[in-house]
Amino acid sequence: MHELLTTAALATAAADDPMILWAAQGFGPGIRAWYDGDAVAVASPDVSKHDRLAVIGPVGDAVRLTADVLAEVGPSYRPFGDEALIRELAERVPGLTFSAAFGWMDADTLPDVTTTAAWQDDDSGVEELLAAASPSSYAWPGHPGVRRWAAVTGERGELLSIAADAWSAPEVGFLAGVATHPVARGKGLSRQVCGFVTTELVKRHGRVGLMVNGDNTPAIKVYERLGYTYRGVAAASVTWSASL
């Protein structure tokens, strides 16, 4: 395998794949990238909750590259990429087990949405809303990858629906931490706040991505109406220990 040392070299090798560019995080601290043949892999520590190993490319090249990279970076990294590829890797790379399928969605156009959402001056009330409406959220206040929160607020300033700019890369913004208070659901508020964040991140980065559970049909429909396209992806786990 050969290491890629610049974001320009990575973009060329990965044909500007938005998921790969997002995983690279502008080559922030501890992030590394490699290629082998036509396969590309990016190892990103603690991005969107996990140590992730984003992989693309033909199966044969990707199997060889994934095995070599995992030997280099260790078993905490979770390979993820297009679902068909990850299933092949789980079958062919010793010590890998298929974990879960989900969705990557991205957009590069400004959505047509009317919204009262705005960036918040601080994260007051965000943790309480997440605990009540989305306790499994990956984005929480205080995480170094979570930059800022947007919200639709009520008449007294209370948070009704929120979304975060979190783990955004220079080339691909990232939307996370979406939650709507139970009493405010069914009013289109999540579309408003997600539309606002999508607009802001496309303007700043040129493209925006997010991850979604594949069976969360209502959320997927909201994102599709905002201009996102769905890409079926998956993750695998390493079952061998670094001490072996």
Average pLDDT over residues 27-31: 95
Hey, how many other C-beta atoms are within 10 angstroms of the C-beta on 143?
Answer: 17
Give the pLDDT confidence of 195-211 residue by residue, as tens digits.
999 999 999 999 999 99
- The answer to whether residue 128 scores a pLDDT higher than 50 is yes
Q: Which pTM does this prediction carry?
A: 0.94
pLDDT at position 240? 73
**CA distance to 158, 162, 217, 226, per residue, from 184 (Å):** 11, 11, 19, 20
Angstrom distance (rounded) from CA 77 to CA 181: 34
How many whole angstroms separate alpha carbon 184 and alpha carbon 124? 18
Residue 110 has pLDDT above 60, yes or no: yes
Assign 242 a pLDDT band (cuts: 50, 70, 90).
very low
- Measuring CA to CA, how many Å separate 167 from each of 16, 71, 80, 111, 177? 18, 26, 16, 21, 11
232 close to 81: Cβ distance less than 8 angstroms: no
Stated as kind and residue range, the H or E segment containing 45 is: strand 39-47
71 membership: H or E segment, kind and range: helix 59-73
Q: Write out pLDDT tens, residues 172-188.
A: 999 999 999 999 999 99
Q: What is the pLDDT of residues 73-102, one digit of tens each?
A: 999 999 999 999 999 999 999 999 999 999
CB 172 within 8 A of CB 22: yes
Instruction: Indicate the length of the chain as a whole number.
Output: 244
Q: What pLDDT band is residue 20 in, cutting at 50, 70 and 90?
A: very high
- By three-state DSSP, how is residue 223 classified? helix
Tens-place pLDDT, residues 43-80: 999 999 899 999 999 999 999 999 999 999 999 999 99
Phi/psi at 238 (5° precision): -90, 130
8 A C-beta contact, residue 172 and residue 26: no
Amino acid (1-letter code) at residue 193: V
Answer whether residue 236 shows pLDDT above 80.
yes
For residues 113-134, average pLDDT: 96
**Greatest Cα pair distance in the chain:** 59
Sheet containing 78-82, strands listed edge to edge, beginning at the edge strand earlier in sequence: 2-4, 32-36, 39-47, 50-56, 78-82, 229-238, 96-107, 208-212, 173-180, 159-166, 146-153, 118-119
pLDDT of 105 over the 70 cut: yes
Tell me the average pLDDT of the chain: 95
